[in-house]
Amino acid sequence: MEPPFRLLDLDLDRGTGPPSSPGHAVLVGLAARPRPVGGEFDVLLTAVPDPPRPWVGCPDPYATARLLRENVTRQPAASVTLAQVLRMGAALPAGDRLVVESLAYSALQGGAGFRHWLAAARPRIPRPAAEPVRLHRDGDRLTVTLDRPWVRNAFDAATRDALCEALEVAVADPSITRVDLHGNGPAFCSGGDLAEFGTSRDSAAAHLVRVGRSPAALLQRCAAKVTAHLHGACVGAGIELAAFAGRVRAAPGTTVRLPETGMGLIPGAGGTASLPFRIGRERTAYLALTGTPLGAVEALAWGLVDEIGEIGGRTPPARPAEFRVT
């Protein structure tokens, strides 16, 4: 059975053009040099370095297309769902994009692709924090720090709830004019806590929790106040949430990555709403479907971060007895 993947070489296929609707497939366009195209393509590849949006420059576009095909073949449901959610999102209000993303995420949680990934994943022991998010108020400035450094600030349910409480303060209090979002330890945030993956037995209830307790929705409401300070690995939720901030500052050596489709899922912390706003849906799809890490310099060129510089003003590290890296 053919995978739901369609590749169109725009240098060879000048006359026919893309299909009027991609349908239930990931549609990739490829050209030696970028050119104006319609909005039908999910990913656009070119050999030209640093091309304009929505194109992605790569040394060998054909090799990248093969990688995309392989990944779509491994996780067809997640890959097509990602493309569909990103296409739909372009026409939806910001809040509705989060609802559609969550509905799709819940559907995929019950799918064979995620179950297969979960069965192959090594078991992980939960390592919670008594205070997963720390707050510090200094006049009109609120500093919010993710504080589970021993798991690189992996995003668990307790962290989500604590971050919501912090952001609710920022939204409700007009005297707070600046919010600085940090991550303590070696990384800003390594994404969803894998120890909790697959523990929910009710995907419908999980959807209601995601939209009812949503840091992404709160960040949308106070984005103009927020500066996210990134360093180390910013994986999954670590970049999805940060991308909502009005300003994103990244330390040299920062890397971002979206691994979810390889797990049979799509970004579930708001990434299909936040990243397209900054880099477009085609580049978002490229990051998610390839799982390719993006360094700070390229993230700056794409507009995913706004500046590169050393991250100052971080809170002191956790006590030595607590600070351990897995």
Task: Report the alpha-carbon distance of residue 191 to residue 237 in Å, rounded.
Answer: 5
Distance, CA of 202 to chain centre: 23
Average pLDDT over the chain reads 92
Average pLDDT over residues 288-292: 97
Q: pLDDT band for position 325 (50/70/90)?
A: very low
Residue pair 223/246 in contact (Cβ under 8 Å)? The answer is yes
Average pLDDT over residues 284-295: 97
One-letter amino acid at 36 equals P
Q: Name the strand (E) or helix (H) holding 81.
A: helix 76-89
Q: pLDDT band for position 17 (50/70/90)?
A: low
Predicted pLDDT of residue 14: 64
Task: Report the half-sphere exposure of 25 (CA within 13 A, side-chain side).
Answer: 19
Q: pLDDT band for position 22 (50/70/90)?
A: low
**This model's pTM is above 0.85:** yes
Residue pair 154/192 in contact (Cβ under 8 Å)? The answer is yes
Which residue ranges form the domains of the chain, and what is each CATH number? Answer: 5-74 (no CATH), 78-308 (3.90.226.10)
Rg of the chain (C-alpha set): 20
Q: For residue range 180-207, what is the model confidence (pLDDT) as tens digits? A: 999 999 999 999 999 998 888 899 999 9
Task: Report the alpha-carbon distance of residue 82 to residue 287 in Å, rounded.
Answer: 11
The DSSP 8-state label assigned to residue 315 in this structure reads P
Task: Report the alpha-carbon distance of residue 41 to residue 51 in Å, rounded.
Answer: 16
Sheet with strand 56-57: strands edge to edge: 5-9, 26-31, 43-46, 56-57
The DSSP 8-state label assigned to residue 30 in this structure reads E
Interacting residues of 173 by C-beta distance below 8 A, sequence separation 6+? none
Q: For residue range 215-269, what is the model confidence (pLDDT) as tens digits? A: 999 999 999 999 999 999 999 999 999 999 999 999 999 999 999 999 999 999 9
pLDDT above 90 covers a percentage of the chain that reads: 86
Query: Tokens 């108020």 appear where?
Result: 137
Interior angle at CA 176, CA 318 and CA 178, nearest 5 = 65
**Cβ burial, residue 119 (10 Å; 0-12/13-18/19+):** exposed
Q: For residue range 40-66, what is the model confidence (pLDDT) as tens digits? A: 999 999 999 999 999 999 999 999 999
First to last CA, the chain: 40
